């Protein structure tokens, strides 16, 4: 007879998982007084400009960004970002592919939050077509968009931390991100590049088991955020590297078209989900975190809190999905939406509709712009149609492009090591910047 007691006692020992309070250390700080850098006047090399090429293959540039930096000692005199190394001509591609076939390409723009891009593109097309999305599809989209936001913020957290020397954080955040990927794999069929959203709704309804798994993961995630905070928020090195680095005021954010967490970190309460709600965000309860002075540390705090709020929204979306079970998740409009496959096999008309949608889907003549609150700022799609099946124009308002543009403003006069904190906290993805 085998004795199972040791196992039981073992599991009993690991049971008491009391929620530990987050230990955060409060540092003194004087708002609005960035630390003045003192140059060593006796340095024999003082005044001699060193030109440094950072990138395009630098691990800290989060893609292929090239920064031409002019250094005086370790101080950045000037900085010229050079983008375009990842330019794949997505906007031109859209014009030759057609509206439907461009969906997979939106995934590959900001590849850390593919579903958010899908949703933004679909919403722009729906705006141009003048159609309304069913309620359940909107709830599914909200769930996916908030999961994407968490994923993107986890990438920010992990990569910025590893750039600033906190290697462990990278593994912590990527472990959590991998769990979301596993959930999305079960849900949409792909880990990355999901192409799950369609014009008029989403491709398939959420499976009950998957919804339960998402809820189970959501329940564990707030404790993980506490763990991240325990490692970073009160960490002296993290604080010193980020505090008073890359300060952006609200006025500067307006002048440089910076939105999203960067604008909120500067003290502005602008959140499009609250101010100009889309996809039914007005019915969800969540708070908008704002910073005080708009430095890298504030941006970090804002993003951490945004993850907590996203968890709240996900939970509410799952509750609503439980209530709207069985509802339509895809619009029934044969001009733009494929008929269900089963009906295609049964009906000749549906077969024709499928054929027409695939080969010759046309949007009405006109222009439309739709912007949503992505994890990096306002992600907008400007679409123009001439009424034929070939798109006239599809322009992506990439928040990342604006974020990269502001690097010289923040970097001038700072130390080279501050560059890592600045690049990290601006949080851009070059696939979206270059398109």
Contact yes or no for 344/254 (Cβ under 8 A): no
C-beta closer to other proteins: residue 102 or 297: 102
- C-alpha span between 350 and 307 (Å, rounded): 43
For the bound state, the minimum distance from the C-beta of residue 37 to other proteins, rounded and expressed in Å, comes to 24
In angstroms, give the least distance from the CB of 203 to other proteins: 21
Please state the closest distance from residue 391 (CB atom) to other proteins, in A. 8
State the minimum distance, in angstroms, from the CB of residue 253 to other proteins: 9
Q: What share of the chain is helix, strand, coil (3-state, %, to 5)?
A: 50, 10, 35
d(CA 141, CA 320): 12
Token output for 354: 């499928």
Residues with Cβ within 8 Å of 277's Cβ and at least 6 positions away in sequence, in order, are none
Alpha-helix residue ranges (DSSP H) falling in 83-166: 90-97, 103-107, 114-129, 135-163
Tell me the closest approach of the beta carbon of residue 181 to other proteins, in angstroms: 30
Task: Give the shortest CB-93-to-other proteins separation in angstroms.
Answer: 8
Residue 378, by phi and psi: left (phi above 0), alpha (psi -120 to 50) or beta? beta
Closest by CA position to 129, among listed 385, 393, 392: 385
**Which one, 73 or 371, has the nearer CB to other proteins?**
371
Of the two residues 318 and 344, which places its CB atom closer to other proteins in the complex? Answer: 344
Tell me which DSSP letter residue 336 carries: T
Q: Which is nearer to other proteins, 99 or 228 (CB)?
A: 99
Strand, coil or helix: 66: strand
Could you give the C-alpha distances from 68 to 225, 373, 418, in angstroms and in order? Answer: 36, 31, 15
**Cα–Cα distance measured from residue 300 to residue 318, given in angstroms and rounded to the nearest whole number:** 27
Q: How far is the CB of 366 from other proteins (least distance, A)?
A: 3
- 321 and 136 in contact (C-beta within 8 Å)? yes
Nearer to other proteins, 108 or 435 (CB): 435
Q: Output the six-digit token pair for 410.
A: 């923040």
Q: Which is nearer to other proteins, 92 or 212 (CB)?
A: 92
Nearer to other proteins, 222 or 366 (CB): 366
Query: 130 or 322, CB closer to other proteins?
Result: 130
Which residue stretches of 15-112 are H helix? 90-97, 103-107
Q: Residue 70: exposed, middle, or buried by beta-carbon count in 10 A (0-12, 13-18, 19+)?
A: middle
To the nearest whole angstrom, how small is the minimum distance from the Cβ of residue 111 to other proteins?
18
Q: How far is the CB of 33 from other proteins (least distance, A)?
A: 25
Residue 91 or residue 227: which is nearer to other proteins going by CB?
91
In this structure, the strands spanning 201-202 and 49-54 are unpaired
Interacting residues with other proteins (CB under 8 A)? 51, 53, 66, 68, 82-84, 87, 89, 91-93, 95-96, 127-128, 130, 254-259, 268, 270, 275-276, 334-335, 352-353, 355-356, 359-360, 362, 364-369, 371, 378, 380, 382, 384, 386-390, 392-393, 395, 397, 401-402, 405, 434-435
SS3 201: strand
């Amino acid at each position: 007879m085998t004795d199972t007691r040791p196992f039981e006692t073992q599991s009993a020992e690991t049971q008491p998982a009391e929620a530990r309070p987050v230990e955060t250390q409060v540092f003194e700080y004087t708002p609005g007084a960035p630390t003045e850098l003192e140059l060593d006047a006796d340095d024999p090399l003082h005044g001699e400009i060193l030109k440094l090429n950072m990138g395009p293959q630098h691990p800290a540039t989060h893609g292929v960004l090239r920064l031409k930096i002019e250094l005086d000692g370790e101080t950045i005199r000037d900085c010229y970002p050079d983008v375009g190394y990842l330019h794949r001509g997505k906007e031109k591609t859209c014009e030759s592919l057609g509206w439907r076939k461009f969906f997979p390409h939106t995934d590959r723009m900001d590849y850390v939050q593919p579903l958010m891009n899908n949703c933004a593109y679909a919403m722009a097309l729906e705006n141009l077509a003048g159609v309304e999305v069913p309620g359940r599809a909107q709830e599914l989209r909200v769930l996916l968009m908030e999961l994407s936001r968490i994923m993107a913020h986890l990438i920010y957290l992990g990569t910025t931390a590893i750039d600033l020397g906190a290697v462990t954080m990278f593994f912590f955040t990527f472990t959590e991100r991998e769990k979301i990927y596993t959930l999305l794999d079960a849900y949409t069929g792909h880990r990355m590049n999901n192409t799950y959203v369609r014009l008029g709704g989403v491709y398939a309804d959420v499976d009950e088991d998957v919804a339960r798994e998402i809820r189970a993961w959501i329940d564990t995630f707030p404790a993980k955020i506490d763990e991240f905070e325990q490692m970073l928020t009160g960490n002296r090195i993290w604080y010193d590297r980020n505090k008073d680095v890359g300060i952006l005021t609200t006025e500067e954010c307006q002048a440089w078209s910076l939105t999203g967490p960067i604008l909120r970190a500067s003290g502005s309460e602008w959140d499009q989900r609250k101010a100009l709600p889309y996809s039914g965000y007005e019915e969800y309860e969540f708070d908008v975190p704002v910073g005080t002075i708009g430095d890298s540390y504030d941006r970090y705090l804002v993003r951490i809190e945004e993850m907590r709020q996203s968890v709240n929204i996900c939970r509410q979306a799952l509750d609503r999905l439980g209530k709207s079970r069985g509802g339509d998740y895809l619009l029934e409009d044969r001009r733009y939406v494929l008929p269900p496959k089963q009906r295609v096999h049964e009906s000749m008309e549906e077969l024709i509709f499928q054929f027409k949608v695939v080969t010759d889907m046309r949007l009405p003549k006109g222009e439309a712009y739709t912007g949503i609150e992505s994890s990096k700022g306002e992600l907008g799609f400007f679409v123009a149609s001439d009424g034929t099946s070939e798109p006239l124009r599809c322009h992506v308002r990439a928040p990342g492009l604006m974020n990269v543009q502001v690097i010289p403003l923040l970097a001038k006069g700072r130390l080279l090591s501050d560059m890592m904190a600045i690049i990290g906290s601006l949080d851009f993805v070059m696939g979206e910047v270059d398109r």
